[in-house]
Structure 1
């Protein structure tokens, strides 16, 4: 027995833990998921330190060249100037080399690690139940493993290490300034401290607003994806303008969210530029005053030379650069943290229909230990035993009420009932697309929730109402049922289903492209490919969810022939809306509002006085007679 999945909304799929934790905690968890980012970290940091340390050579060289070369009390020392300039050039060359090596390492590590993160998130999305996946628009869900990961990539390939580099540069510039004149270094810090405090407050606003941006981007992509998938319906009902307005609204929401980030971000840049100009002006004025002794105060470190004042101006630039870039990098960091939270939110969402054979832990990428009692389906015939089966959707009433039934191996069962009677829900429970709220389903004597997926999916297959095809060839779609099948085996499967001639008549045979979602084929042809795919997989149990609906009469004959071939020697459970399908079944189950109200052969149920199936059959016969 397994519990039904808890209700989840779109926002909750983001994971409450990821949404509530601080930026540092988010980064820490993100790095734990992508250890490749930390591989060889000390080498990267060493390159960064060398590249940063080389920057102070310019102000030191300028001070030495001015004081000992150009404006020296004695005649200019040309040899010293040339030597100092040459040494500075060599150091700058080494600095540039270290920068190149550092950036190459960062880019490779970032892309490698984030590819790992994207693969884990993508795999975990497929481990979530259909119910959980349905709580968020598909486009928004896709954005979590695409655009959200991209924001992390952009930051980690440059911004992350730059924050470290800029911090080191800030400390180094302060140390060199203090070496020249600690009073002047103190003045520089006094110019920046109030602004740094204000910018810290602004960053909190930026972080919250970037979280909104990432959410709005996901909603926009969801709307675009939905409108593209449903484009035929949009055109059929002439709702292009309304759909366009919905998209414009989502795009406008993203724009407004970005504008909301721009306001505190612009304020940060304005404060930074103000501090730069103020600090430079103050350094020149105070430096000249201290250097000339105009105050008449003898302070240690106050005896600045002309070269020292000029060097100090360069050092202020080195000091201010980390502040300016830090603001930009912190803004990128906030965007990356928001994206990381949305990716972590996916990984934090538990796989509510987990593989008992050992699910892949999205945090480590390693397979968990099998669930106690997990075992594959036994060889041979597989009876299905269903006892006290109940199911309730998270936001609605119970839709399956204590269902009890035995389905013998190799029998052909039709499930009949009005819309909303629970037929499709029952099919999803049989194939473990969802778990029941209570009760058990045993296949071959093994509880369904204890059957490892590799065993379950190879022996129990569901053909959904719309035979979904991937954007490849007919052969490529058939291979989803059996990846190692040869062309001869595919042709044999088609021949056994009576589809060999049909396949040969396709424009390019098995190599005919089917287009996105199989749009190059008719609805009936898509179902033929889906049935052939299931046949090639050679399962023991087939669940057909209204697989023969919405086709023309000629295609219906071909489809029915294929279904008969697929059902031969297998347990077949068909969700039937057309009673012609039910007539050919060994037994018929009639569901009414989640209850199994009738169960028997076609002949038995037709003769059942006042029965639901008998009434449906009379209406169907009368409708056929009218045509």
Structure 2
């Protein structure tokens, strides 16, 4: 029993693991923030110097000079005609102190602007680079709206931390040092008591800060979830309206909104509780200060000017520590807001280029899948999509990939494009292992047309020229003509300058697909991947798109994924996949004659044609 108890006690509990994870996240967040800050060492140094100088002059030098004036007034009367001769140096000193102090105040603002502008730029780029380089597995499991929200919160977290350091922390530290330095020679016992109270204040505030940090992170996480729910509903607003699901989406949003409110309330209650406790300590400190000021002259012979200075310094210091409460709350908020994006930045990149990886060079377009083994990273170890799959596609051949849903057709195209990396085997293009070439060079050699056209909320011209932004107007028009898109584009009021809307919603499905095909034609890549490029179109649009695809495939190695077998009946070759394996391989006629899985699929899609009818259909498709 004893040994069992010991073993159990040695295991970290869930709370310990969570706290350790939170501390690690904080360290990593500060690492990213410091990496950006040290790019502007001058601005960072100026923020400290200006903050300390501003406090030293306006908060400490001003009361000091006023204390000297009080002592001089108390020493002996000053005749009216001697005011400027006696107090002139003090007045001049106050003028200089305030002029320099105000200048430092503006330099303080300048340094903050410099740090925050640089931080906004560098951290936004860091987040964008990280998100754009992550695999599709990563993106498919996350809300796009949440990622945008997390990026915004990460960047604003840095700005919040810069603000709190410059306007609160550095002035507070300077206030403590200057208070001790100015008062210790005349009131050492008072300074000792003051320091004990302030240490107690800091310890109490920090312990409560550790608890509130978790609550701040929870509140930030709930807000990011709320942003994701809102983004999901707005992005799919057509589905919401056409299915009459406004009430359901409203309830989903309300639940997420309520969770965000509960998390924010928990954070607020803890912050207010800490505020009451720390305010009590501030009151005690001021009570002690009032006793020392009242008896300072009688007990210790301290002059009236020094007593005024003592009270002013103590009051200013307690106000600074009163801000310490809000300062810790703002640090909590900044680090809590940044926490989720920090974890994303620290996630391993599932698809990453080798250091110094060469660019892929395609001369002909041969494709080889050699002994491919693959499973998705979030799938169980025994749940493989492919195991020892082999497939050779000669240059210039048009190959159709068919099979039931889940057979691995689309996954195979993703492995070719390195949207995911294989765990076993190799994908070769002209004998080059794509996993050892740069991703950008690979994808620049492959024109990809998916089932749903991927259009940006930009002009038609920009969307067509996306893969070749340096294309001429004539080249863009020629690509649109070959894609059977020129006619409808020229009918639009603004032609090629028409904004297509988010994801191309201002265009019909057939129009969007033809714009996407025009983009692929303009790229003129040696390898073409079509993933269900016509399955969602009506008959008229499909005929136009099919004709455009014929233009696109001419002279290229083409890999065509299709559920609608009429799409691939005219291909040079058809590969049938089942449960991640190649089960049939041949021309349409050969596979129908074989009477295997493809023949069964063809029969079901064509309404049970006889073999001769199937052959006629194949001939028609080829024509």
TM-score normalized by the length of structure 2: 0.89
- Secondary structure, in 3 states, of the residue corresponding to 1:270? helix
- Asked whether the equivalents of residues 119 and 155 of structure 2 are also in contact (C-alpha less than 8 Å), the reply is no
Q: Does the alignment pair 1:384 with 2:367?
A: yes
Q: Secondary structure at the match of 1:481?
A: coil
**Structure 2 match to 1:322:** 320
Distance 2:279 2:183 in 1: 20
> In the alignment, which of 233, 251, 263 is matched to residue 227 of structure 1?
233
**Residues 522-556 of structure 1, C-alpha deviations (whole Å, 9 max, x = no match):** 01111111111011011111111101011121111
Shift of 1:623: 7.4
- 507 and 112 in structure 1: CA distance in 2 versus 1, 3 angstrom threshold: same
Question: Deviating runs (4+, > 4 A) in structure 1?
Answer: 15-20, 73-77
The one-character-per-residue Cα deviations of 1:278-333 (angstroms, maximum 9, x if unpaired) are 3233222233223213xxxxxxxx22122322221111112112212222222211
Q: Which runs of 5+ in 1 are unaligned?
A: 1-14, 294-301, 357-368
- The 5-angstrom pairing of residues 283-294 of structure 1 reads 283-293=289-299
Give 2:460's aligned residue. Answer: 474
**2:44 is aligned with 1:41:** yes
Is the Cα contact below 8 Å between 1:474 and 1:514 reproduced in 2? Answer: yes
Distance 1:406 1:258 in 2: 57
Instruction: Identify the residue that residue 490 of structure 1 maps to in structure 2.
Output: 476
Which digits, 9 at most, give the CA deviation of each residue in 1:426-482, with x for residues without a partner? Answer: 111121111112121111011121222342122112211100110011101011121
Say yes or no: does 1:335 pair with 2:333: yes
Secondary structure at the residue paired with 2:447? strand
Partner of 1:72: 75
SS at match of 2:529: strand
Q: Secondary structure at the match of 1:441?
A: strand
User: Contact 2:282/2:318 (CA < 8 Å) preserved in 1?
Assistant: yes
Match of 1:57 in 2: 61
Aligned match for 2:593, one of 600, 607, 615: 607
Q: Secondary structure at the match of 2:218?
A: helix
**Equivalent of 2:90, from 84, 87, 90?**
84
Unaligned runs of 5+ in 2: 1-17, 614-623
Matches within 5 A, 1:528-547: 528-547=514-533
Secondary structure of 1:180's aligned partner? coil
Distance 1:183 1:24 in 2: 39
3-state DSSP of counterpart to 2:594: coil
3-state SS, counterpart of residue 60 of structure 2: helix
Work out the CA distance in 1 between the residues paired with 2:482 and 2:142: 41
> Structure 1 residues 558, 129: closer, same or farther in 2, change over 3 A?
same
CA distance in 2, matches of 1:58, 1:199: 30
Matching of residue 180 in structure 1 with residue 166 in structure 2: no
Quickly say closer, same or farther: Cα 1:112–1:449, change in 2 above 3 A: same
Aligned counterparts of 2:465 and 2:575: Cα–Cα separation in 1: 33
State the distance in 2 between where 1:127 and 1:475 align.
26
Q: 1:623 to 1:308 in 2, by over 3 A?
A: farther
Is contact 1:545-1:574 (8 Å) kept?
Answer: yes
Counterpart position of 1:433: 419
* Deviation digits for residues 353-393 of structure 1 (CA, Å, limit 9, x no counterpart): 1134xxxxxxxxxxxx314xx452242x1211112212212
Q: Residue 281 and residue 269 in structure 1: after superposition, are their counterparts in 2 closer, same or farther (change >3 A)?
A: same
The yes-or-no answer on 1:215 pairing with 2:215 is no
TM-score, structure 1 length as denominator?
A: 0.88
Match of 2:370, SS state, is strand
Q: What is the DSSP-based 3-state SS (H/G/I as helix, E as strand, rest coil) of the residue aligned with 2:141? A: coil
CA distance in 2 between partners of 1:137 and 1:567 (Å): 35
Shift of 1:422: 1.2
Structure with greater helix share of residues: 2
Moved more, 281-290 or 545-554: 281-290
Measure how far apart 1:24 and its partner are: 5.2
Matches within 5 A, 1:36-185: 36-54=39-57, 55-69=59-73, 71-75=74-78, 78-79=83-84, 80-81=86-87, 83-160=89-166, 162-185=168-191
Task: State the partner residue of 1:312.
Answer: 310
Q: Secondary structure at the match of 2:418?
A: coil
Residues 1:309 and 1:98: Cα distance change in structure 2 (over 3 Å): same
Do the aligned residues in 2 keep the contact of 1:34 with 1:114 (CA within 8 Å)? no
1:484-525 CA-partner distances (Å, limit 9, x unpaired)? 001111011222334332332233221111111100000111
More RCO (CA 8 Å, sep 6+): 1
Question: Would the alpha carbon gap of residues 40 and 484 (structure 1) be closer, same or farther in structure 2, given more than 3 Å must change?
Answer: same
Match of 1:6 in 2: none
Q: What aligned pairs does 1:260-271 form with structure 2 within 5 A after superposition?
A: 260-271=266-277
The 3-state SS of whatever aligns with 2:598 is helix
Partner of 1:583, secondary structure, is: coil
CA RMSD of aligned residues (A): 2.3
| 1:44 shift after superposition | 3.0
Please list the CA deviations of residues 81-134 of structure 1 after superposition, one character each: whole Å capped at 9, or x if unmatched: 454244223312211110111111211222212311110111111111100222
Whole-angstrom CA distance in 1 between matches of 2:584 and 2:181 = 87
Q: Which moved more, 1:78-87 or 1:561-570?
A: 78-87
Contact 1:459–1:540 (CA under 8 A) maintained in structure 2: yes
1:588 alignment partner, SS class? strand
State how many pairs are aligned.
586
Name the structure 1 match of 2:284. 278
Provide the residue aligned with 2:607 in structure 1. 622
Q: Are residues 417 and 382 of structure 1, via their aligned partners in 2, closer, same or farther at CA, if it must alter by over 3 Å?
A: same
